[in-house]
Amino acid sequence: MSRILLVDDDMDLAELVKTKLTTEGHEVFTIHTGDGAFEMGKEVKPDLVVLDIMLPGVTGYQICRRIRKDPELYRIGILILTALGEEPEIMHGLEQGADDYLAKPFKLEHLMEKIAAIEALLESIERKNPLTDLPGTEAIKREINHRLARGMAISACYVDMVGFKPYCAAYGQEGQKHALEFMSKTLRQLCRHMGVYESFVAHLGGEHFVIILNLEDYERFCSSLMQAFDLNVKQLYNAKDAERGYINATDKRGRETRCALMGLSIGVAHTQFRHFKSAKKMFEVLAQTRQMAQPDGKSVMFVDRRKTDR
């Protein structure tokens, strides 16, 4: 069960919600004004905040932004309550860093479903890939949303290990394990050695990785990553394959084909020229840039430098 901070100026509704949540085993703290809500959050350190938008004093939007900018609180779950329930208001709340919304009036059962969904999200974010010990897709998307809500200048780098599937076909499950551990280790070591301490690395599954960096760090980091990968990737192959620079693999039609040693395809999206409102849009751009980066004997990077959505 969770520690929940309930912020709502409707005292009767707040008491009703508190009774329901307490009955379900949650520990609930309530405040009926926007003023002091953030400070109360700092004091009780909840797992989740149920936050009304229209409040006397400080608005729910302002509280949401302050939470996402605070180093102690920014990872907590936020469910916003909105009286209007119209799309512009909902989208604005999500862009301030909320995880979900619930329109008033609502049934208590729907509130409990929303809270359970956020709890499941927070739990999934804490899970790590057993091979790479890195968080997954939901964790990286939420981290991007939080950094955008905090107004940070960021870059997101989508890193693909091109040639990974033929490599796994040739070297089997043990080879796959070694390749993923090698990639994870390379990313982590570079972050430490380069002093990129505000980075966030995630493994989306298979050969797909994403790393968030401060805007000013992506060029030197990606250049070093490509150099380190190309220099050391041969250690994943046997001496014969490493020497000749390719492996023999079988395609989907059963034909034998030559496949080059693995290289990195890195697509980069950043906030220097464009204002991203959510991780969803940033991932769309990352998918485009990754397709533009096609290794040819060595790793390659493609950076989105557009200043509009086109």
Q: Give the confidence band of 171 by pLDDT, cuts at 50, 70, 90.
A: very high
pTM of the full predicted structure?
0.81
Tokens of 20: 């329901």
Residues of the chain with CATH 3.30.70.270: 137-303
Q: How far apart are CA 158 and CA 247, in angstroms?
A: 25
* Distance between first and last Cα of the chain: 45
| CATH level 2 (architecture), domain 137-303 | 2-Layer Sandwich (3.30)
Would the pLDDT of 310 be above 70? no
21 in Cβ contact with 4 (< 8 Å):
yes
Residue 126 has a pLDDT of 84
Tokens of 267: 């697509």
Would the pLDDT of 85 be above 70? no
125 in Cβ contact with 138 (< 8 Å):
yes
CA-to-CA separations, 62 to 142, 181, 217, 282, in angstroms, rounded: 19, 42, 29, 24
% of residues, the chain, pLDDT over 90: 66
245 in Cβ contact with 261 (< 8 Å):
yes
Q: Give the confidence band of 151 by pLDDT, cuts at 50, 70, 90.
A: confident
Mean pLDDT, the chain, rounded, equals 91
Q: How far apart are CA 201 and CA 107, in angstroms?
A: 39
Q: Give the confidence band of 68 by pLDDT, cuts at 50, 70, 90.
A: confident
Q: Give the confidence band of 306 by pLDDT, cuts at 50, 70, 90.
A: confident
Options 2.60.260.20, 3.60.70.12, 3.40.50.2300, 3.40.1180.10; CATH of 3-126:
3.40.50.2300
Residue 251 has a pLDDT of 66
Q: What letter represents residue 192's amino acid?
A: R
Q: How far apart are CA 259 and CA 231, in angstroms?
A: 18
Q: Per-residue pLDDT averaged across 231-250, rounded? A: 91
Residue 309 has a pLDDT of 63
* Residue that is written with structure tokens 């009955």 in the block: 23
Residue 162 has a pLDDT of 94
Q: Per-residue pLDDT averaged across 56-85, rounded? A: 88
Would the pLDDT of 197 be above 60? yes
Would the pLDDT of 17 be above 80? yes
Residues of the chain with CATH 3.40.50.2300: 3-126
Q: State the pairing for strand pair 256-260/48-52.
A: unpaired
